[in-house]
Structure 1
Amino acid sequence: MTFGGTISIGVLIVAALVLATHGINQVDDYHQMPLMLIPVFGFWGFILFVASLAIACFGAALEVALQQAYLVAQGFGWTWGEDRKPRDNPGFSAVYTISLLLAAIPIMLGVDPLRLTIFSMALTAASLPLTVVPFLFLLNDERYVGEHRNGILSNAAVIFIIALGFVLAVVTIPLQIFGGT
């Protein structure tokens, strides 16, 4: 079991203990989740939960917008990079900015931010095969990497990652559409 799995189990146990004392046997909505923090932190528990939810949603929006900007910039052969100023890579910066502005529209229309965040992460998983497949070709092209081409084991690892991404894409999108949060 990983450290993250241990934390997840701990959160589930704490949630079960705290929410059961409030007569909540099933969590149907994220509005019930601050109740876990209120007994320990009081009113600040609610504030901490709201801040955590806002940070998670904003972080997901930034991640998706940044991924979109990288994909478009790489696809069109534009200059891009973390260490470059916006004036040095205007296409990348424009796509990033427009993606963030477009991401705000569903929230302004009243879409549940948590559902939108989860759905956007499912779309990110669906895009994994599209971003990894080019590496399979590049890492085997002798013109680019010379004698450092991938071997059988490395190619198997990349193919496994592509297959895993494909499975995630096939599973997560329908689950998000038909299964709710």
Structure 2
Amino acid sequence: MKGIFAVALGVLTAIGGFVDIGDLVTNSVVGSRFGLTLAWVVVVGVIGICVFAQMSGRVAAVSGRATFEIIRERLGARAALANLSASFLINLLTLTAEVGGIALALQLASSIEPALWFPVAAIAVWLVIWRVKFSILENVTGLLGLSLVIFAVAVFFLHPDWSALASQVALQPSPHTDEQPATYWYYAVALFGAAMTPYEVFFFSSGAIEEKWKTKDLAQSRLNVLVGFPLGAILSLAIAACAAIVLLPKGIAVNSLFETALPIAQAFGKIGLIIVILGFVAATFGAALEVTLSSGYTLAQFFGWPWGKFRRPASASRFHAVMILSLVIGLGILFTGVDPVQVTEISVVFSAIALPLTYLPILVVANDPKYMGKRVNGRVTNFFALMYLAIILVASIAAIPLMIITGAGA
């Protein structure tokens, strides 16, 4: 039993990071428009986030230092402040999307307008962060999020044309005939950004400090990474496959979580719908917890404030104040009337833009004997890490032009 809960941090990071509102929406949109022709991006993304998280977890376990503590020391205050500003703004945008995602999931369950759920969702996130222990937070939310496995089961119950699905994956790495190449590549960047969202790594490395990982825990860190993120990738591919099977042939556009849930309703009826709504709430709520904590982690680590759920709120007051303020700002954005789905789609693209700012410093530190001693990256890790640095830079540079050319994928 202890071994099962040892991977809880990885499962929570996967459910609340790899499969958050960004993945629920983006994978469903992609499946409904391109089928599985972009499945390769999910595979590329999961390998990338495994490399990134493995380095970050190892740096945290060996050095005892979290991401932004090291970034400030390694880059200097000015360069690190620019990094912090961009990362924090992306966090705010993502938090807005996740709170909106909780509201959309609760709307699906109750038929009550999302605007009425916004404050409920934000207050619930704050209460859990304030009162619930980190270990309980990661175990309960991560395990409830596993109800999204219903998408993988539904792929079989929908009785698809397996040869047609396989041909999309294996033989057609190109746009659907009705889509423009630029739109295809725009959604490739969006999927990549959804898979490698920076807050996942902020949360994972800070969670390692919360759980007091040391060098002896490196095996557990690798287990978290190698179980959690591939699980998230499988669920992401299953969501896209369900949309490709049900929505694509009928030309149904994804404008809300209702369309994302349609394949489950078709496969399993009301019981399936109840299970998938539970998964939506758990995934979006888990992601909102992660992003809120990451907002506090980034600022507190940069400025050297006391932080962490292992401290009483009174002992880390600025850490908690940042999280409350982040939730208030996210609520303010949502109450302007902005569509949470549009915020989600934009946030994943901007995540790809900001990714080099955190990836490169971690890569540098992971190769620095001053911090890592004998635990620096090996040759194989560095090969993949440098390859992904190139991919990340290309995606970051291409994101804005593609967004402009395609009208954000319209």
TM-score (norm. length: structure 2):
0.35
Structure 2 residue 392 is the aligned partner of structure 1 residue 179: no
Aligned partner (choices 136, 156, 161) of residue 383 of structure 2: 156
CA distance in 1, matches of 2:309, 2:239: 32
Partner residue in 1 for 2:15 = none
Alignment of 1:1-181 (within 5 A): 3-4=234-235, 5-16=237-248, 20=250, 25-27=251-253, 29-30=255-256, 33=259, 36=263, 41=269, 45=273, 58-175=285-402, 178-180=407-409
Corresponding residue pairs, total:
174
Structure 1 stretch displaced more, 66-75 or 109-118? 66-75
Partner SS state of residue 78, structure 1: coil
Shift of 1:132: 1.9
> Shift of the alpha carbon at 1:85?
3.0
Q: How far did 1:119 drift?
A: 2.0
TM-score, normalised with respect to structure 1: 0.69
What per-residue deviation string (whole Å, max 9, x for no partner) do you get for residues 115-169 of structure 1? 1122223333333222222222322322222233334433333333333333333
CA contact (8 A) 1:61 1:103 kept: no
Distance 1:88 1:156, change over 3 A: farther
What is the rounded CA distance, in whole Å, between the counterparts of 1:64 and 1:173 in structure 2? 23
In structure 2, what residue type is equivalent to 1:41? G
State the 1:62 CA deviation. 4.0
> Does the Cα contact within 8 Å between 2:247 and 2:253 map onto a contact in 1?
no
Unaligned ranges ≥5, structure 2: 1-168, 170-232
CA contact (8 A) 1:129 1:166 kept: yes
Q: CA deviation at 1:111?
A: 0.5
Q: CA deviation at 1:112?
A: 0.5
Question: 1:160-180: per-residue Cα shift (whole Å, max 9, x none)?
Answer: 333333333334455556224
**Displacement of 1:89:** 2.4
User: Contact 2:366–2:372 (CA<8 Å) still a contact in 1?
Assistant: yes
The CA deviation at 1:100 is: 1.4
Distance of 2:374 and 2:279 partners within structure 1:
47
Structure 1 pair 58–171 and aligned structure 2 pair: CA distance change class (3 A): farther
- 1:15 maps to amino acid: L
Q: Quick one: structure 1 residues 180 and 54, their matched pair in 2 at CA, closer, same or farther if it must change by over 3 Å?
A: farther
In structure 2, relative to structure 1, the CA distance for the partners of 1:50 and 1:97 (3 Å cut) is: same
Name the CA shift for 1:163/1:104 in 2 (closer, same or farther; >3 Å): farther
> Which stretch shows the higher mean deviation, 147-156 or 87-96?
147-156
Amino acid at match of 2:333: P
> Are residues 144 and 113 of structure 1, via their aligned partners in 2, closer, same or farther at CA, if it must alter by over 3 Å?
same
2:381 and 2:257 map into 1 onto residues whose CA distance is: 45
Q: Aligned-residue CA RMSD in angstroms?
A: 3.6
Separation in 1 of the partners of 2:257 and 2:364?
Answer: 47
CA–CA distance in 1 between the matches of 2:377 and 2:336? 48
Q: By how many angstroms is 1:86 displaced?
A: 2.5
User: Of the two, which has the highest radius of gyration?
Assistant: 1
Cα distance in structure 1, aligned partners of 2:332 and 2:409: 21
Instruction: Sort the Cα spacing of 1:57 and 1:7 in 2 relative to 1 into closer, same or farther, 3 A.
Output: closer
